[in-house]
Amino acid sequence: MWRIHPTFLFLFLIAAEGAAVEIRLQSPNRVAVQGEKVLVDLLAGPNLVEGEIRAYLNYGVVLTFTYFIEIHEKHWFLDQRLAQVTITKRLSYDLWTEHYLLETSTPRLRQTMYKDLESLRPELEVLAGVPVCEAALLKPEGRYYFRTRNTL
């Protein structure tokens, strides 16, 4: 009969708790060509920081949201990925100042302080005007689709 040492069980439970959660983003609700860039607007969904996740954040756990956006050209046999954009946002709570700090990695590192979680919610749930690729990569007769996801 197999016996599991309590230390291994404890480590397994910790590893299971720290696993990433993947959330599918909604399809782009706007795709536009501005100058030489293709821009998209995406909705990550409501209430990304609620319940237990909010409690962990308020105890000092840093949350990392990673948004992946890919554009693919559809072919009859094998689709081709034209471009991929990754946006990382780190959210932390400072117990001393009682403010939330949001660090965004793209297009350049930006840090913003918020007094409450409600005021920073749009920053996590809406991605607006994200440059995905050069417009020159797209052919007028081509068929394209997006793959989007968010990991926490």
Per-chain mean pLDDT for the chain: 80
pTM of the predicted model, to two decimals? 0.76
Going by C-beta distance under 8 Å and a sequence separation of 6 or more, which residues neighbour residue 92? Answer: 57, 60, 62, 63, 100, 101
Residue with tokens 């954040």: 57
Cα radius of gyration (the chain): 19
Token pair recorded at residue 118: 């409600």
Q: Dump pLDDT digits (tens) for 21-66.
A: 555 566 667 888 888 998 888 887 777 788 888 888 988 899 998 9
Under DSSP, is residue 43 helix (H, G, I), strand (E, B) or coil? Answer: strand
More confident residue, 108 or 19: 108
